[in-house]
A = this chain, B = another copy of it.
Amino acid sequence: MKKAPTIRDVATAAGVSVSVVSRVLNPDSGPVAPAKREMVLRVIDELGYRPRAAARELSVGHTPTIGLVVADLANPFFAQLADRIVWEARSHGVQVMVMTTQEDPHLEADSLDTLLDRSVGGVIATPTGANVEKWARLQALGVNVVFVDRTIPELAEVDLVSIENVDSARRATEHMLGLGHTRIGLISGPVGTSTGRSRIQGYQSAHNNFSISVDPQLIRDVLFRGDGGGDAVGSLLALPDHPTALIVANTAQVQSSIRRLVQIGVRIPDELSVIVFDDNPWTELTSPPLSVIRQPIDMLAVHSLELVLGRMQGRLPPAPRTIEVKADFVPRSSCSPLTLSPIS
């Protein structure tokens, strides 16, 4: 466990100056005679020399590192997103610091401070919705921020990558309406987020297209954190005129919602038709397999990374950009036509 060699050790051993070694390390930073380059490379290999990231970072002022601030790795959607982003970043030679917020604004604020201390060049995040000024300050300090999946309306200056929320919600709703359902429950994200609002908008737009009026009682916007999904399920089903179909359009609450449905023992799709937002591995292992709006996680990962790297390299126009990718509707077996009851 003797200490690692430094650039000066390499220089000495190779009989050159540190400048030369540095230039070998960073091609394009200056000329080096082929013979010496060869020599230096051999010494580096013999000594097992590796440049220390901290030293480089200190002198150049930034790191090829981005932060990823995600709600909760225990949720398959975020976990897969993280997986793809980490993977994709690596292929660009960029490291990723993964932080989780557990949907807690304080932890989110901490995470941002930490990332700032580490001089990351960019951050990809699913924001909790709070810390508005903090996000703004981060950006003012030159850190490139990209929101993915969700955003905060107050922060119009921030890049966003998400699915076509209005359209996706509209299609899911129209699918239900097309099956004859007229009372369709909707569990969405907080109206304080653009995601929540857009999906509600799509839901309403579908109803308009079918000339069916919307019962506001059937729309539940619940927080990302906690067990809001389960509770909403409970209260929706307790309604005297309860819904015959349910759309869970809050990614973070899908598990909670489905778990409650299973606990209650509702028969799907006979008693309740269900569509959920995002295609976790287990959605086709349930009984019946769930019809889903599939968020193209790869696309979200690729675009958000491309955006943040593009900004870091300054090769993007300054105007904030919003990228919306199309989400697939994947019909499986959790929806069925409404059985017309002659009584009503």
Enumerate chain A interface residues (CB-CB to B < 8 A): 1, 4, 50-55, 57-58, 63, 72-74, 76, 79-80, 82-83, 86-87, 90, 95-100, 102, 107, 110, 113-114, 116-119, 140-142, 255, 258-259, 262, 280-282, 284-287
Contacts and interface: CB of A to CB of B under 8 A. Distances in A.
A1 B141 contact: yes
A99 B118 contact: no
Contacts of A118: 53-54, 95
Contacts of A259: 281, 284-285
B258 A54 contact: no
Integer count of this chain's copies in the complex:
2
Contact of A50 (B52, B113, B255): B113
A102 B55 CA distance: 30
16 contacts: A4-B141, A50-B117, A51-B117, A52-B58, A72-B83, A73-B73, A79-B79, A79-B82, A83-B100, A95-B118, A96-B97, A262-B284, A262-B285, A282-B285, A282-B286, A285-B286
A63 B65 CA distance: 16
Contacts of A113: 50
A190 to B, nearest CB: 22
B80 A140 contact: no
Contacts of A116: 50
Given A73-B80, A140-B1, A284-B262, A96 B98 contact: yes
Contacts of A51: 117
Given A1-B140, A80-B73, A117-B52, A281 B255 contact: yes
A14 to B, nearest CB: 20
Nearest to A100: B86
Contacts of A86: 73, 98-100
Contact of A100 (B55, B87, B97, B287): B87
